[in-house]
Amino acid sequence: MRVYLSIIFSLLMLMVYGQDKKYVTVKKSLTLMGERFDFTVVSVNEELAYINIQEAVGEIRRIEKLISSWDPESETSLINQNAGIKPVKVSIELFKLIDRSKQISEITNGAFDITFASMDKVWKFDGSMTDIPSKQEIENGIGKIGHQSIILDNSEKTVFLKKPGMKISFGAIGKGYAADRAKELLVSKKVVAGVINASGDITTWGTKATGEKWLIGIANPSNQKKVVSWLPILESSVAIAGSSKKYILFNGKKYSNIINPFTGIPTSGEVQVTVFAKSAELCDALATAILVMGKDAGLSLVNQLGGTEAIIKENETIYKSSGIILDQEP
């Protein structure tokens, strides 16, 4: 997979070009899963496009209900409530998502781990924290982390968290999964083309009505409104994760909301990871994992995976996987 883009970038912006008279392009933005979702669809008429977008919104809300760790009635919450007590029978959909999450944990050597949620009482990113957690609090949280302690029974479709107090959360994979499922629904509805941007987890299909490819714009870090390079995305996905996207500040140091499952401490520093792959789910998970792993281990992993590429920006330095060619001309 060969990707051309400017060596200077700080964020991804989506641009849609002109369209053929045969089709209309409709956009809609709204808040879902606590984040901004942007829908762009190419359809035969505007009314049908809005109907299709609303169906996609309904699908994402259904998924949110399934994977929410905040809704006490969700299957995910039931799993957490029964940690260390008993297995919980779940839907095939959730069972498979957890199984895939465990597989990603394996290939990233635990850098991606949905049991990081056990730290949610230790680190809070809602503005309520006044002090850094104690060493003992962090160690207690780490003791409840470990994808190996998620026990799946394939025949019964049950999930069991072995350790009392364990929790799972899909914060590092859920938006990507939702984007993939919404795309799958729209494709089944014969929507000819579109883009779903789930707050930085982007997936596309088809082309613009003109036949041109969808483009991701690379913005100039010193001027966010100026695009310095364009990257075509065809039947593919991209996710961006940054250690400074959401953070808390203590003694002048930023702590991001991405927890290192090995240390129990949030990642820090000015780091941004962009991952390209077929599914937004995989992009979402790998972008988080690479932030934890660091550039060397992260790029080494990506270089071994087929159909996957990554770019890592640390401060103003760019690092890339082997399939990416940097075009320094805007």
> Within this chain, do residues 221 and 329 fall inside the same structural domain, yes or no?
yes
219, 325: one domain: yes
What is the average pLDDT across 183-197?
96
> Does one domain contain both 222 and 327?
yes
Q: Residue 206 pLDDT > 90, yes or no?
A: yes
196 found inside a domain: no
User: Does any domain span residue 33?
Assistant: no
pLDDT surpasses 80 at 231 = no
How many helices (H) and strands (E) in the chain?
A: 7, 18
Lowest mean pLDDT among 61-75, 139-153, 219-233, 297-311: 219-233
Kindly state the average pLDDT of the residues 2-11.
42
Q: Which of 161, 176, 194 is the last residue of a domain?
A: 161
| Residue 330 and residue 217 share a domain | yes
**Same-domain status, 4 and 83:** no
- In the predicted model, is pLDDT for residue 4 greater than 50? no
Co-location of 152 and 219 in the same domain:
no
Shared domain check, 312 and 216: yes
Q: Do 226 and 318 fall within a single domain? A: yes
Give yes or no: residues 228 and 139 share one domain.
no
How many distinct structural domains can be found in the chain? 2
Percent of the chain at pLDDT exceeding 90: 62
- Each residue's pLDDT tens digit, 24-59: 999 999 999 999 999 999 999 999 999 999 999 999
**166-196 per-residue burial string, b: 16 or more CB within 10 A, e: under 16:** bbbbbbbbbbbbbbbbbbebbeeeebbbbbb
* 93 assigned to some structural domain: yes
Whether residue 194 is contained in a domain is answered as no
Query: Which pLDDT score, from 0 to 100, does residue 302 have?
Result: 97
| 176, part of any domain | no
Tell me the β-bridge partners of 102: none
55 found inside a domain: no
* Residues 308, 273: Cα–Cα separation, whole Å: 13
In a domain, 257, yes or no: yes
Exposure string for 214-233, b = 16+ CB within 10 A, e = fewer: bbbbbbbeeeeeebbbbbeb
What integer pLDDT is reported at residue 9 of this predicted model?
A: 39
The answer on pLDDT for 325 being more than 80 is no
Look over the chain and give the mean of its residue pLDDT values, rounded to a whole number. 86
pLDDT of residue 324: 78
Write out the residue range of the structural domain in which residue 216 sits. 1-17+212-330
In a domain, 23, yes or no: no
Residue 253: CATH number of its domain: 3.10.520.10
Query: Has residue 3 got a pLDDT over 60?
Result: no
Asked if residue 218 and residue 322 are part of one domain, the reply reads yes
pLDDT exceeds 60 at position 244? no
Residues 146 and 223 in one domain: no
In a shared domain, residues 222 and 330: yes
CA 180/CA 96 separation, integer angstroms? 14
pLDDT for res 227: 57
> Residue 131: which residues within 8 A CB-CB, separation 6 or more?
250
Among the residue ranges 130-139, 174-183, 275-284, the one predicted with the least confidence is 130-139
> Tell me, what CATH number does 152's domain have?
1.10.3980.10
